Amino acid sequence: MRKIGVDVAAGLRAAAASALIAVTSCSRVPSPLTPAFHGSVGLPYQGVLDGASQLPPIGNGYRLLRPSGRSYGTASLVSTIRFAASEVARQRPGPPLVVGDLSAPGGGQITNHRSHRTGRDVDLLFYVTTLAGAPVESPGFIPFGADSLAMAHAGPHGRLWVRFDLARNWLLVKALLSAPSSEILWIFVSRPIEALITEYAFALGEDPVLVWQAENVMLQPRNALPHDDHFHVRIACSPDEAVAGCEDGGPQWPWRAPAPSLDWPDHDSVEALIDTPELPPL
Protein backbone atom coordinates (compact mmCIF):
# COMPACT_ATOMS: atom_id res chain seq x y z
CA MET A 1 0.00 0.00 0.00
CA ARG A 2 2.92 2.38 0.57
CA LYS A 3 3.86 2.35 -3.11
CA ILE A 4 0.29 3.20 -4.10
CA GLY A 5 0.29 6.04 -1.60
CA VAL A 6 3.59 7.40 -2.95
CA ASP A 7 2.35 7.21 -6.56
CA VAL A 8 -0.83 9.05 -5.63
CA ALA A 9 1.22 11.62 -3.74
CA ALA A 10 3.36 12.21 -6.80
CA GLY A 11 0.22 12.63 -8.86
CA LEU A 12 -1.19 15.11 -6.36
CA ARG A 13 2.02 17.11 -6.31
CA ALA A 14 2.03 17.25 -10.11
CA ALA A 15 -1.62 18.28 -10.14
CA ALA A 16 -0.97 20.98 -7.56
CA ALA A 17 1.99 22.28 -9.58
CA SER A 18 -0.10 22.38 -12.75
CA ALA A 19 -2.87 24.25 -10.98
CA LEU A 20 -0.39 26.74 -9.56
CA ILE A 21 1.13 27.31 -12.98
CA ALA A 22 -2.27 27.91 -14.51
CA VAL A 23 -3.13 30.49 -11.87
CA THR A 24 0.19 32.32 -11.60
CA SER A 25 1.56 31.82 -15.15
CA CYS A 26 4.81 30.68 -13.56
CA SER A 27 5.52 28.42 -16.54
CA ARG A 28 6.19 31.50 -18.64
CA VAL A 29 9.15 32.85 -16.69
CA PRO A 30 11.98 31.25 -14.70
CA SER A 31 10.76 30.74 -11.17
CA PRO A 32 11.84 28.97 -7.97
CA LEU A 33 8.34 27.46 -8.02
CA THR A 34 9.12 25.60 -11.26
CA PRO A 35 12.87 24.83 -11.08
CA ALA A 36 12.57 21.71 -13.20
CA PHE A 37 11.12 23.54 -16.20
CA HIS A 38 13.64 23.87 -19.02
CA GLY A 39 13.95 24.15 -22.79
CA SER A 40 11.18 26.09 -24.49
CA VAL A 41 9.26 27.48 -21.53
CA GLY A 42 5.88 29.14 -21.89
CA LEU A 43 4.16 30.50 -24.99
CA PRO A 44 5.90 31.72 -28.17
CA TYR A 45 4.79 35.27 -27.37
CA GLN A 46 5.25 35.07 -23.59
CA GLY A 47 8.08 32.83 -22.52
CA VAL A 48 11.80 32.13 -22.37
CA LEU A 49 14.35 29.62 -23.62
CA ASP A 50 16.74 27.53 -21.56
CA GLY A 51 19.50 25.33 -22.96
CA ALA A 52 19.34 26.78 -26.47
CA SER A 53 21.03 25.37 -29.56
CA GLN A 54 22.63 27.74 -32.05
CA LEU A 55 22.08 27.46 -35.80
CA PRO A 56 25.49 27.76 -37.48
CA PRO A 57 25.79 30.78 -39.84
CA ILE A 58 26.21 28.55 -42.91
CA GLY A 59 25.11 24.99 -43.51
CA ASN A 60 24.04 22.54 -46.17
CA GLY A 61 21.53 24.45 -48.29
CA TYR A 62 21.12 27.52 -46.07
CA ARG A 63 22.79 30.63 -44.68
CA LEU A 64 21.78 33.13 -42.02
CA LEU A 65 20.54 36.47 -43.34
CA ARG A 66 22.65 38.27 -40.75
CA PRO A 67 24.86 36.61 -38.16
CA SER A 68 23.60 37.95 -34.85
CA GLY A 69 22.50 36.96 -31.37
CA ARG A 70 19.15 35.78 -32.74
CA SER A 71 20.19 32.44 -34.16
CA TYR A 72 19.17 30.31 -31.16
CA GLY A 73 16.34 27.82 -30.81
CA THR A 74 15.44 24.46 -29.40
CA ALA A 75 17.49 21.55 -30.68
CA SER A 76 14.42 20.30 -32.56
CA LEU A 77 13.91 23.64 -34.36
CA VAL A 78 17.57 23.84 -35.39
CA SER A 79 17.43 20.25 -36.65
CA THR A 80 14.23 20.96 -38.57
CA ILE A 81 15.73 23.97 -40.36
CA ARG A 82 18.85 22.03 -41.31
CA PHE A 83 16.83 19.03 -42.49
CA ALA A 84 14.44 21.10 -44.62
CA ALA A 85 17.18 23.19 -46.22
CA SER A 86 19.28 20.14 -47.06
CA GLU A 87 16.27 18.34 -48.56
CA VAL A 88 15.53 21.24 -50.91
CA ALA A 89 19.21 21.51 -51.85
CA ARG A 90 19.35 17.78 -52.54
CA GLN A 91 16.29 17.71 -54.77
CA ARG A 92 16.74 21.08 -56.47
CA PRO A 93 20.28 22.43 -56.09
CA GLY A 94 20.57 26.19 -56.21
CA PRO A 95 21.16 29.26 -54.06
CA PRO A 96 20.74 28.62 -50.33
CA LEU A 97 17.69 29.14 -48.17
CA VAL A 98 18.11 32.48 -46.39
CA VAL A 99 17.24 32.16 -42.70
CA GLY A 100 16.10 35.18 -40.68
CA ASP A 101 15.65 35.46 -36.93
CA LEU A 102 15.15 32.59 -34.51
CA SER A 103 15.40 33.63 -30.83
CA ALA A 104 17.89 35.18 -28.43
CA PRO A 105 20.14 32.79 -26.45
CA GLY A 106 17.83 32.90 -23.44
CA GLY A 107 14.66 33.67 -25.33
CA GLY A 108 12.44 36.51 -24.24
CA GLN A 109 11.42 39.57 -26.20
CA ILE A 110 13.48 40.75 -29.17
CA THR A 111 12.91 43.84 -31.28
CA ASN A 112 10.67 43.67 -34.36
CA HIS A 113 8.93 40.51 -33.15
CA ARG A 114 5.90 39.79 -30.99
CA SER A 115 6.83 36.13 -30.70
CA HIS A 116 10.21 34.36 -31.24
CA ARG A 117 10.56 34.20 -27.44
CA THR A 118 10.84 30.48 -26.74
CA GLY A 119 13.08 29.08 -29.47
CA ARG A 120 10.28 27.57 -31.56
CA ASP A 121 9.92 30.29 -34.22
CA VAL A 122 12.01 31.09 -37.28
CA ASP A 123 11.65 33.34 -40.33
CA LEU A 124 12.55 31.74 -43.64
CA LEU A 125 12.85 33.95 -46.71
CA PHE A 126 11.22 32.71 -49.90
CA TYR A 127 13.17 30.98 -52.62
CA VAL A 128 13.08 33.14 -55.77
CA THR A 129 13.95 33.03 -59.45
CA THR A 130 14.52 35.55 -62.18
CA LEU A 131 11.60 36.25 -64.49
CA ALA A 132 13.19 33.75 -66.86
CA GLY A 133 13.10 31.05 -64.18
CA ALA A 134 16.76 30.93 -63.12
CA PRO A 135 17.16 30.39 -59.34
CA VAL A 136 18.77 33.32 -57.53
CA GLU A 137 19.37 34.06 -53.87
CA SER A 138 16.65 35.94 -52.06
CA PRO A 139 17.31 39.71 -52.04
CA GLY A 140 15.62 40.05 -48.65
CA PHE A 141 12.17 40.68 -47.21
CA ILE A 142 10.28 41.78 -50.31
CA PRO A 143 6.48 41.40 -50.67
CA PHE A 144 5.08 39.08 -53.33
CA GLY A 145 1.66 39.52 -54.89
CA ALA A 146 -0.90 37.00 -56.10
CA ASP A 147 0.85 37.05 -59.49
CA SER A 148 3.96 35.55 -57.79
CA LEU A 149 6.06 38.62 -58.62
CA ALA A 150 7.99 41.02 -56.39
CA MET A 151 10.09 44.09 -57.05
CA ALA A 152 13.54 43.37 -55.69
CA HIS A 153 15.11 46.71 -56.52
CA ALA A 154 14.16 50.09 -58.00
CA GLY A 155 17.05 52.25 -59.18
CA PRO A 156 18.04 54.80 -61.76
CA HIS A 157 18.27 52.10 -64.42
CA GLY A 158 14.83 50.65 -63.79
CA ARG A 159 13.24 48.01 -61.64
CA LEU A 160 14.49 44.51 -60.94
CA TRP A 161 11.74 41.92 -60.53
CA VAL A 162 11.92 38.38 -59.20
CA ARG A 163 9.46 35.51 -59.20
CA PHE A 164 8.29 33.29 -56.35
CA ASP A 165 9.98 29.91 -56.86
CA LEU A 166 6.99 27.58 -56.58
CA ALA A 167 8.98 24.39 -57.01
CA ARG A 168 11.48 25.02 -54.23
CA ASN A 169 9.06 26.74 -51.87
CA TRP A 170 6.70 23.78 -52.08
CA LEU A 171 9.63 21.44 -51.44
CA LEU A 172 10.46 23.53 -48.38
CA VAL A 173 6.93 23.27 -46.99
CA LYS A 174 6.89 19.56 -47.76
CA ALA A 175 10.24 19.02 -46.03
CA LEU A 176 9.16 20.99 -42.98
CA LEU A 177 6.06 18.80 -42.64
CA SER A 178 8.11 15.61 -42.97
CA ALA A 179 11.01 16.62 -40.72
CA PRO A 180 11.65 13.83 -38.16
CA SER A 181 12.81 16.21 -35.43
CA SER A 182 9.58 18.13 -34.79
CA GLU A 183 5.96 18.76 -35.70
CA ILE A 184 4.97 21.96 -37.48
CA LEU A 185 2.36 23.97 -35.62
CA TRP A 186 2.05 26.92 -38.01
CA ILE A 187 3.56 28.30 -41.19
CA PHE A 188 2.39 31.90 -41.21
CA VAL A 189 2.14 33.21 -44.77
CA SER A 190 -0.23 35.36 -46.81
CA ARG A 191 -3.37 33.86 -48.34
CA PRO A 192 -2.28 34.50 -51.96
CA ILE A 193 1.04 32.72 -51.35
CA GLU A 194 -0.75 29.82 -49.66
CA ALA A 195 -3.06 29.54 -52.69
CA LEU A 196 -0.12 29.52 -55.12
CA ILE A 197 1.62 26.75 -53.17
CA THR A 198 -1.39 24.48 -52.71
CA GLU A 199 -2.53 24.84 -56.31
CA TYR A 200 0.98 23.97 -57.46
CA ALA A 201 1.09 20.92 -55.17
CA PHE A 202 -2.27 19.65 -56.42
CA ALA A 203 -1.16 20.19 -60.04
CA LEU A 204 1.92 18.06 -59.34
CA GLY A 205 -0.30 15.24 -58.11
CA GLU A 206 1.07 15.34 -54.57
CA ASP A 207 -0.51 13.22 -51.84
CA PRO A 208 -3.84 14.94 -51.03
CA VAL A 209 -3.36 14.23 -47.31
CA LEU A 210 0.00 16.01 -47.34
CA VAL A 211 -1.48 18.99 -49.21
CA TRP A 212 -4.38 19.05 -46.72
CA GLN A 213 -1.87 19.20 -43.87
CA ALA A 214 -0.05 22.04 -45.63
CA GLU A 215 -3.32 23.91 -46.11
CA ASN A 216 -4.06 23.56 -42.40
CA VAL A 217 -0.73 24.78 -41.07
CA MET A 218 -0.36 27.66 -43.54
CA LEU A 219 -2.18 30.68 -42.20
CA GLN A 220 -2.24 34.42 -42.76
CA PRO A 221 -2.07 35.79 -39.22
CA ARG A 222 -4.62 38.20 -37.82
CA ASN A 223 -3.62 41.52 -36.30
CA ALA A 224 -0.20 41.30 -37.94
CA LEU A 225 1.54 41.86 -41.25
CA PRO A 226 0.31 39.47 -43.96
CA HIS A 227 3.65 37.62 -44.24
CA ASP A 228 3.86 38.06 -48.00
CA ASP A 229 7.66 38.36 -47.80
CA HIS A 230 8.65 35.27 -45.80
CA PHE A 231 7.49 32.11 -44.04
CA HIS A 232 7.19 32.37 -40.28
CA VAL A 233 7.53 28.78 -39.08
CA ARG A 234 6.54 27.66 -35.59
CA ILE A 235 7.10 24.15 -34.32
CA ALA A 236 4.93 22.44 -31.73
CA CYS A 237 5.96 21.31 -28.28
CA SER A 238 6.94 17.67 -28.12
CA PRO A 239 5.26 15.64 -25.34
CA ASP A 240 8.49 15.75 -23.31
CA GLU A 241 8.80 19.51 -23.81
CA ALA A 242 5.19 20.01 -22.77
CA VAL A 243 5.88 18.23 -19.47
CA ALA A 244 8.95 20.47 -18.98
CA GLY A 245 7.05 23.76 -19.37
CA CYS A 246 6.46 24.27 -23.11
CA GLU A 247 3.03 25.60 -24.13
CA ASP A 248 1.83 25.33 -27.73
CA GLY A 249 -0.73 28.10 -27.76
CA GLY A 250 -2.17 26.49 -30.89
CA PRO A 251 -4.21 23.60 -32.24
CA GLN A 252 -3.66 19.93 -31.58
CA TRP A 253 -3.64 18.80 -35.21
CA PRO A 254 -5.18 15.33 -35.73
CA TRP A 255 -1.97 13.91 -37.22
CA ARG A 256 0.12 14.90 -34.19
CA ALA A 257 0.88 12.68 -31.21
CA PRO A 258 -1.61 13.41 -28.42
CA ALA A 259 -0.50 15.82 -25.72
CA PRO A 260 0.26 14.33 -22.31
CA SER A 261 -2.57 14.46 -19.82
CA LEU A 262 -2.69 14.34 -16.04
CA ASP A 263 -5.03 11.81 -14.44
CA TRP A 264 -6.57 13.26 -11.30
CA PRO A 265 -6.84 10.77 -8.41
CA ASP A 266 -10.30 9.59 -7.50
CA HIS A 267 -11.94 10.13 -4.11
CA ASP A 268 -10.93 6.75 -2.68
CA SER A 269 -7.28 7.30 -3.63
CA VAL A 270 -7.27 10.67 -1.92
CA GLU A 271 -8.78 9.13 1.23
CA ALA A 272 -6.14 6.41 1.18
CA LEU A 273 -3.47 9.03 0.72
CA ILE A 274 -4.67 10.99 3.75
CA ASP A 275 -4.61 7.82 5.87
CA THR A 276 -1.09 6.80 4.75
CA PRO A 277 1.33 7.42 7.65
CA GLU A 278 4.52 7.09 5.58
CA LEU A 279 3.59 9.72 2.97
CA PRO A 280 6.58 11.81 1.85
CA PRO A 281 6.16 15.56 2.47
CA LEU A 282 4.47 17.57 -0.28
Can you spell out the DSSP letters for 71-92? -EE-HHHHHHHHHHHHHHHHHS
pTM assigned to the model = 0.81
Residue 9 lies in a domain: no
Answer yes or no: is 11 within a domain. Answer: no
Confirm whether 205 is domain-assigned: yes
Query: What pLDDT, in 10s, does the model give residues 47-69?
Result: 999 989 999 999 999 999 988 88
Classify residue 278: in a domain, yes or no.
Answer: no
* Res. 221: pLDDT tops 80: yes
More reliable by pLDDT, 159 or 202: 202
User: Residue 274: inside a domain, yes or no?
Assistant: no
C-alpha distances in Å from residue 121, one per residue of 1, 49, 133, 145: 47, 12, 30, 24
Amino acid at 263: D
Number of domains in the chain: 1
Rounded Cα–Cα distance for residues 11 and 139 (Å): 54
Q: Where are the beta strands (DSSP E) in the chain?
A: 40-43, 46-49, 53-54, 58-59, 62-64, 72-73, 97-99, 121-125, 128-129, 135-136, 149-155, 158-164, 184-188, 218-219, 230-235
Return the percentage of the chain with pLDDT > 70, whole number.
77
Q: Which domain holds residue 120?
A: 38-263
Tell me the pLDDT tens digit for each residue of 15-52: 433 443 343 333 445 555 567 677 899 999 999 999 89
CATH number at residue 177: 3.30.1380.10
Kindly state whether residue 253 falls inside one of the protein's structural domains: yes
d(CA 38, CA 51): 7
Residue 149 lies in a domain: yes
Does 272 map to a domain? no
